Structure 1
């Protein structure tokens, strides 16, 4: 055993064999491979100190000190903190020239490299990458933690790494808006859409999060005490401010350019990106410059259905690594009563999409080429009303008269199932396309028919050739008188 590997306890055991068992020091030195002079030195320290700690190796008095002048050390660090960062070889050459000019010994390359490596990483990042990189890497982050369900929700958007088919059949990347309960990590509501994020899409996601879901496996509902979002234009809109004011929700925005406080919802987006999207056609992996590895096949409605299935059957049901509980179980475990709107119609008035005014006809209200009826409308025939609707389900609409909720009108053809406005428009477009194709086919068949000659007069016939039965007419004799008619 080498001497450097002997700890204070090992040295004490070795000396105890001499003191307690009477083994000579020469024999101990031969067995351990340690010079007898060193063992005698340990024995002297142990007898004077009487403790095992007296056998510990003492640090060098010049530990941490370098033999180069302080001014050269400062020069090395100053050169290393420039932008862009120079190499250690360049710094060594510069320091060698400076030391030579001042008549002092120049440090070695290894010393310069050790000085550069020993610079505070935070100082290096601040000097070479700027304030933002330093803040995102080294500054402490205050992480909000809710103590109960619905105490705090997080809201955010993300552009999904997938291409789907837009209504015109072209590839487009959809956006996803999420309302996440901070305490349980359960998804309270969401909306997926094409186009830039807007206050309307945020309102639709919040409307779904607050209301009672028809699916019993999705119990998350109610009004949150606090809604935490970023500084996007849709989250700072007057519409959302009014919603939060009327429903007694405290709206808090994260610092501009500082996303760390929304790490929980960003983690959910990471789960969707790594566990769901790679299994779908049109997925866009990182490093492909926005190009999908396979052609897009899904429509927006199909992606919406897949997302809902993933949230309800997988994400909300499996244990979360931070809480060791499934989000749904953690949300419902406290058996609390969620705070609901006093008048659900008021929430519809604040959050649902506003349509243009409609006139109540005798057969109901015509909206989006669909007829909506309600017994209440019988007393308002001929009146102008306002229609509000959920684009994801136009089986019913909300009708308002003079800004007061009047009734819910249903479409008898659509009420049996949830049909979105995009589905309805798509069905109308498909039907129109089919009819146009039939029209082209019929016209092509008609164009290929023979010409109609029923009432076309016969073409004039040429003079028939002479036959045996019809004698040929004798040629006229020409007289010798010249007239103008004959010329």
Structure 2
């Protein structure tokens, strides 16, 4: 292997691919070297396809199907990093999405529905059709960002000034407790238009706008606040809008009341946290994320990615035979108001996939009832596990949870996955059947019930979805590369060193994404090539580490009064801390937990890459690094 091999690998581009493959009758898909038209959907595993050239039918495994390549369109913002889009353009894309959103659930969009939507929004029929085609073809909100060239705005049926007057009168006059009539509202709009010298819209247009007022807004504005609350506030067993699979997915975290043991000494390391997501309509668990770290943005990102992605490889990676036929993008992601759910990165990433973020009202716990009950159910399943903890003192008497702890992290995760499959297949009193059966009926129906939705479009690039939900950062690129805690460099950055913004003349910033569990590399989005590149840490001797481990080592260096904290010093502290943990973990729970956290992170098992990497259970002796550290420290960080 040549000396430059690692650098060559860094220059391999990764183009974002957010295309979702339609699994529906009539859809064109690829399998091997052939193109098929789906003629029948047998179940979540198999479809019948007709090969377009020969006309022969074949049973095709859904997991082996590929989407057909799409033709690139100049000026279209698809496959960008969402963090690179300006606020104004992003707002325009969201407005366009709001225009077409009510029509996206239809397999065939009828002319009558589009015309009604045109009247309600003031957007031309042909423009609505064009936006629908773009969004369905590319499957991301970025496709609706105003194009750089050749993008003509749709002509409105009424002037913007008239539209503003209609909205103002509806809000300030019609939606009042004295409940004025529609006729009186029309008269008030025409009077306002005349006063402002604006051409008044037709009566039918005004009536359509009034009919378009959301039901909840209508009830509250017209003095039916209690009725609105009763109709739209969740109560046990119900949730507004969760009328079909993936309409609403709830997500939340909880610590699990069981102690685990480390891989080496099999002694207690404490509790773990789990993040669950559940489909409210079917009660189907759609994803999870297990961690030794307290909940943070990465917990949400990994759980959302796991929820969206197919689970076949995940089950194989954990050595479990079973079915978890859940994938697809939810309509609404519902959570509490924690900062990890409120982050701008999460909101923008969700928006790009058409996911609406909704948050439960403060001090209204029943709004999260389904996910709360799920976590309560799993709390009950822990009672028979070794190492179970108890909140009640009487229950704790005579039982040593630390001494009885027996399961490692990986063993517990395998147990957890099996419990998820058991839960999905077990009878649920709230829906009078199992979540799995409810999920199947919602998608396929039966002799007496029409399907509510079809098979969800299947994501085709797991790594793109996972990367989209990672934290993003804006940084300038200097001659040494880029700094984000540590220094990073690759030849992929060279064309952008000291690049200037053409509009402001200031040094230009670029988008980077990073998994905080492994800061040995980050992702750089090249705005010209529209591709991602892996950018490794400039100091190749720097160990793979998490941002938390790095920050602990840096704090130690600062606390010891070092004037100049450099990567070599931090690297030394990280390795010394690991050796300290390795020596003490047999007697100290905190040290064992820290060592186990490092082992879990180093495996690199993620929803996009479920097969873990082999990892050593013993920390290498630091002697192999001593010559490097005791020698010329200037070598570290030298990227030339």
Structure of higher RCO (CA pairs closer than 8 Å, 6+ residues apart):
2
TM-score where L is the length of structure 1: 0.46
TM-score where L is the length of structure 2: 0.36
Larger-Rg structure = 1
